[in-house]
Structure 1
Amino acid sequence: MASPAVDDYLKTIYHHTEWQSARITPSQLAAVLGLAPSSVTEMVQKLAAQGLVTHRPYGPVSLSPAGERRAAAVIRRHRLIETWLVREFGYTWDEVHDEAEVLEHAVSDRLLDGIDERLGHPRFDPHGDAIPDAAGRVHREPFVLLADAAAGHSGRVLRVSDRDPALLRTLDEAGVVVGAIVTVSGMSGTAAPTTLVVDGTELTLPAEAAGVIWLSA
């Protein structure tokens, strides 16, 4: 049965392991969703009973094959809508997330297919996240988190997390956008500013930027 609450849980679990391998714990799930741990525990048990996740008491949560398919379908909707809003309506990449959160539950399959066709079947959304195809398949190339990149590493910006709109605006103004070629000129990390060379100009980014930017490996 369609349920926005269920879809939000599955989407969050799916998203957690897209750019790193550690599975999500119930406490992390509660923090991301802004819910009480007891509420999350109850919902995870319901999802497990429906065959959408696998979970042991006090252990991490994983999507089952059925849960993976459903999560990919929701993610596809969300990211196609974000791409549509940016390309067709002039939204900026820091504005689309909340709008897509609402529209993903309202757009019909027919309209979604039309959006996909009109956009030329895009593979990535404005933040660099992969858009699953109709079968749930995605393509990603090898990547490294900026915080883990060594000084001297050069690569293409593959993805920028959309969780902080203000930081997205700062990075956009600096030219650190998806597709940009950058070189790490100062040691990266999450506790201190990172320096990058973009288009021949050295920039100092806020410390938190190192944890939200992924580069080609």
Structure 2
Amino acid sequence: MRAEELNRSVQDCLKTVWLAQEWSSDAVTTTGLAQQLGLSPSTVSEAVTKLTAQGLLSRPGRSGIVLTDRGRDVAVQMVRRHRILEAFLTSRLGYAWDEVHDEAEVLEHAVSEKFVARLEVLLGHPERDPHGDPIPRRDGTVPPATGVLLADVPAGSPVVVARVSDADPAVLRWLEGAGIRPGTELVPGEHRSRGMSVDVGGTVVEVGVLAAEAVRVRPRD
């Protein structure tokens, strides 16, 4: 199914379910989905019922809300559009990485698959967006989302930033100022109740809890 065959609210709902499961194994609930979409639980519950009847979602027992194969196809198309647009906005139009999410949210509903494919070629087929999230390929496959939370890494273990959550623009701006981006090499230091210390290229930075939980890292080669 092509994403453009569905209206914006359906596209957003399916994409949000997919994103909720990208970095977490927790079940997707009506309440959680409502919080992410900024809608009331009753509105979301009604939408989920309709999308289940259309074969785009299912609710298998205690597994919460789950995408069907058709629903996943649409969700992945929307995630692909969003992340390629973010890559374009940062690399070609000079947007900061804390600005691109909202712009891409608007544009992803207006562009065609042909347009997105041409952007992908123009950008050299990027595998990650500016925040390190994997960009789904045109065939629907997705590069693996790897990495553990920086907050969970023991002191003294050299790591490389793999991904930074774009949920909070203020946190992104702080991380930018601290020099922490995908590809940055870090050495975690002492963990404290309010965060942790991190060595960034020889400079020790005090990273708060919110920032430490927004960064995912992988072992340094």
- Quote the residue 2:218 is aligned against: 216
The offset of 1:107, in angstroms, is 1.1
> C-alpha separation between the residues in 1 aligned to 2:157 and 2:175?
19
Alignment of 1:151 onto 2:155: yes
1:139 is displaced (CA, Å) by 1.4
TM-score scaled to structure 1, two decimals?
A: 0.94
40-49 vs 58-67, which deviates more?
Answer: 58-67
Instruction: State how 1:91-102 maps to structure 2 within 5 Å.
Output: 91-102=95-106
Distance 2:157 2:179 in 1: 18
Residue deviations 1:87-142 (CA, integer Å, cap 9, x gap)? 11000100001100111111122211110100001010001111000011111264
Contact 1:141-1:216 at 8 Å conserved across structures: no
Structure 1 stretch 65-74 or stretch 191-200: which is displaced more? 191-200
Q: Identify the residue that residue 165 of structure 2 maps to in structure 1.
A: 161
Q: 1:196 aligns with which of 195, 198, 215?
A: 198
Match for residue 135 of structure 2?
131
2:22 pairs with one of 18, 35, 44: 18
Which TM-score applies when normalising by structure 2? 0.92
Q: Which amino acid aligns with 1:192?
A: R
2: distance between equivalents of 1:102 and 1:141?
Answer: 25
Counterparts of 2:169 and 2:178, CA distance in 1: 14
Q: How does 1:31-110 map to 2 (within 5 A)?
A: 31-56=35-60, 60-110=64-114
Closer, same or farther in 2 for the Cα pair 1:102/1:61, shift >3 Å?
same
Q: Distance in 2 between matches of 1:27 and 1:154?
A: 38
Separation in 1 of the partners of 2:38 and 2:145?
31
Closer, same or farther: CA 109–145 of 1 in aligned 2, 3 Å:
same
Secondary structure at the counterpart of residue 185 of structure 1:
strand
Aligned residues: 215
Gaps in structure 1 of 5+ consecutive residues: none
8 Å CA contact 2:151, 2:209 repeated in 1: no
CA distance in 2, matches of 1:169, 1:130: 21
AA in 1 matched with 2:117: D
What value does the CA root-mean-square deviation take over the aligned residues? 1.6
Structure 2: stretches of 5+ with no match in the other structure: none
Query: Deviation of residue 57 (structure 1)?
Result: 7.4
Amino acid at match of 1:148: D
Counterparts in 2 of 1:62 and 1:17: CA distance versus 1, 3 Å: same
Distance 1:31 1:78 in 2: 20
List structure 1 segments (4+ residues) > 4 angstroms apart after TM superposition. 56-59
> Which of 33, 48, 62 is equivalent to 1:29?
33
